[in-house]
Chains A and B, each alone.
Chain A
Amino acid sequence: MLFKDDAVARAQHQAVRENAGWYRWTHDLVEVTGTDAEKFMDRLFVGTITKTPVGRTKYTTMLNEDGKIIDDTIVMHVGEDLYWVSTLYAPQFLAWAAGHQDGADVACRDITKEIDMYAVQGPKSGEIMNAMLAQSVDGLKRFAVADNTLDSVAVKIHRSGFTGELGYEIYCKAEDTETVEAALRKGCDSFHAPELTVLEVYVRSLPVEKGFALRQDMYGLTPYECGLGWSVHLDKDFIGKEALVKAREEGPKYKLVGLEYLAESYEDIAQREIVYQYGVPCGFVRAAIYGYTVEKNIGFAVIEAEKAVVGAEVTVGCNDSPAVITEKCWL
């Protein structure tokens, strides 16, 4: 829960928007190997993994047989027959993958504890990275990953992030984490780029302003209901495709939308708070946070599709907190 008058959160948020900031954030990481790895991954995800060359990464979703999202991930093609899946739910991913291997030559392993990750985010992040790394990141495309060296430590640099700004992720072996963190701290200090210590700044406030949702926001919806139709490749086979095609034909039942909360603060709104239109329940909240760039209380909600009209007025929760439905991106 972040508030307008939280000076620490505001400073960290604005550092990323205007300069840069860094933080340690290790998603769960699953290593997928084997001669069938590419084919296997292509079947798990709605995106075309076969068209992702070594050194490139892809944001994509994973569906159940009903065509509903059960995970959203970054799939990194880090070597021949070698992928890393960045997810927040490694144990669930492993169980799902094990149930769909069907004799394929593929092995999945949770490497979360072996690999640490740091993120440098913000318009100045490229300069900071170039000042710290052995090789320049200037040529590194968005959703590309490459080997590099930081203070004599071998690292992988992934141009990506969850803030909507230019940003990079640094992956290193867990045993090298102290060296990497020290170098990063020193390098960022010289650019006045602070360490972000308020989780909700880099997990919610910054991403929500840019329309970035977490898996928990989209769970149980179709990619179409979340505005992720662009990521679905119906020209290939994947788990949940049949149901998804049917769902697309029938049209969305729900929509993941933006909500602007019009009251001064939102202490009475939890993640599953009920949304009402004319006093009738029409959906539920998925996120509520203060956006320090847009200077508004904003978030996401899942709303019945026919009522998910941008500009529609709704109320939220037990105090009839006024809100308005918006597009789910503010910047």
Chain B
Amino acid sequence: MALLDQLESSKCVETVWGKLIPEKEAYQYAVRQIAGFCANLFQVMRILEPDFEKRTCAICDISYMMNMAASGEEYMNQFFDEWNIPEFCKKDAWLGAIFGDSGDEYENMAGRVIQFTHDRVEKELDTCPWDIVGAELCNMTTAMFTANFDLSSPNGENQVSLNMCEARGCGDRHCRVVAERRDKYDLPKQGWMDHMQQPVDPVHDTPVERGVRQGQIIRNDRYSQAFGEEKSFTWAYRWCMEKGWVWCIAFPLIAIRDMAESEEEFERIFKIVFATAGKNAFMEPFAVEAMRTYLGVPHDIGSNDPRLMGGYIKNVLDTQLVPCKLERFTKDEVVIKVDTETFNGRFPMAPIDELTTGYEVLWHNMVKTMVSAEWSCWFEGKDDEYMYIHVGRKVDKRMI
């Protein structure tokens, strides 16, 4: 189709150098950015709590409680109506599965519902942007699903056994969550560390040649669920940029903060981890070359120019749908104005102050390898209505 015919229908993120990044590519990039932030956060957790089981149980507990609190009966009833789930579909058996499936697809966890019956649901994923985070997160998602099922239980009892019997975060080719009704399969109530068992009934393993690399919203421009209701790609992008931070950052953060002996200890370790991630992001010289190509940086922008970092940050904010504006963009400094509450509160109900701390430390250290050690990144006005992200020269005799 001629460009002229597409101008009204195809959206792009424009880099500061005019390179157009298609909306779908921007979405994929942004989703992976959230997963990257989550991966850093989980490293903080591993330092604070060396015991795998203890830390996994802690984040499962908190994510279960938060999901129960966030998704009350009214919320779930609205979901039932919104998705036109027929009256005969018993909420206790079906709602959790539909809820989980739609969330997966909004977040580009590409796969399929293998089985969807009153007594058993099997969901299989071929890809997951969060597969870099690690096994604790895979366990945690079953805790969240447990909340979805329990919320719809008519007697308040846990009626479903949930197992993530395969997980890409554990190295498996697929993620696979199976829900089996406990009464039907004679299964005991599970503890948080029991959710990676094999299900009773055999699973269906999709062959490689039938696998998918992208979710429905990328492949087909929309997510279509079993009862024919649809959500557009644009809707899902927005949803993901708001709520994608909640389950994998805001919820576990509550537990991870509690693992530290003090607020100061948490912040110290948090900053060290994000600083390390930042320093390593552009350690390889060809990574900078790739970024220049990706963002369309012209040759007259040299290798020691703060606009490299500024353009990169602008692109991250734009793809994450955070409104921002360039205030300065010269060879001496870059200043980006951003609405503080929007930056921290992508989902207003669950603001995350650590986004400010994390990105400031991450980018301050990233600029050292992306541009040079002469440059720093810092945020001003963190407590004001607008925050200013600076990239500039700074000398600090105790710089870390």
Contact with B along A1-27 (1 / 0, CB 8 A): 101000000000000000000001111
Looking at chain B's contact residues, is the secondary structure mostly helix, strand, loop, or mixed? loop
Pair B222/A272 contact, Cβ less than 8 Å = yes
Pair A272/B216 contact, Cβ less than 8 Å = yes
Residues 204-235 of A contacting B (Cβ, < 8 Å): 214-217, 219
B212 within 8 A of A: yes
Shortest Cβ gap from A175 to chain B (Å)? 16
Q: Smallest CB-CB separation from B86: which chain A residue?
A: A88
Pair B117/A271 contact, Cβ less than 8 Å = no
Pair A219/B228 contact, Cβ less than 8 Å = yes
Query: How many contacts between A and B, using CB within 8 angstroms?
Result: 85
Could you say which of A94-102, A126-134, A262-270 contacts chain B? A262-270
Q: How large is the interface on A (under 10, 10 to 19, 20 to 34, 35 or more residues)?
A: 35 or more
Q: How large is the interface on B (under 10, 10 to 19, 20 to 34, 35 or more residues)?
A: 35 or more
Pair B224/A270 contact, Cβ less than 8 Å = yes
The 8 Å CB contact of A268, one of B88, B210, B224, is B210
B119 within 8 A of A: yes
Could you say which of B108-116, B312-320, B375-383 contacts chain A? B108-116
A interface vs B, CB < 8 Å?
A: 1, 3, 24-28, 88-89, 91, 112-113, 197-200, 214-217, 219, 263, 265-268, 270-274, 284, 317-319, 321
The 8 Å CB contact of A91, one of B81, B88, B221, B229, is B81
Pair B210/A28 contact, Cβ less than 8 Å = no
The 8 Å CB contact of B84, one of A3, A88, A271, A318, is A88
**If the complex has contacts A270-B224, A272-B224, are A113 and B87 also in contact, measured as CB distance less than 8 A?**
yes
Pair A24/B115 contact, Cβ less than 8 Å = no
**If the complex has contacts A1-B112, A26-B86, A219-B228, are A273 and B219 also in contact, measured as CB distance less than 8 A?**
yes
Pair B209/A319 contact, Cβ less than 8 Å = yes
Please measure, in the bound complex, the distance between the C-alpha atom of A319 and the C-alpha atom of B102, giving whole angstroms: 22
**If the complex has contacts A89-B84, A113-B87, A200-B116, are A270 and B216 also in contact, measured as CB distance less than 8 A?**
yes
Shortest Cβ gap from A55 to chain B (Å)? 26
B204 within 8 A of A: yes
The 8 Å CB contact of B220, one of A28, A112, A199, A284, is A284
Residues 95-120 of B contacting A (Cβ, < 8 Å): 112-119
Pair A318/B212 contact, Cβ less than 8 Å = yes
**If the complex has contacts A198-B117, A271-B224, are A266 and B219 also in contact, measured as CB distance less than 8 A?**
no
B28 within 8 A of A: no
Please measure, in the bound complex, the distance between the C-alpha atom of A267 and the C-alpha atom of B216, giving whole angstroms: 12
Please measure, in the bound complex, the distance between the C-alpha atom of A24 and the C-alpha atom of B112, giving whole angstroms: 26
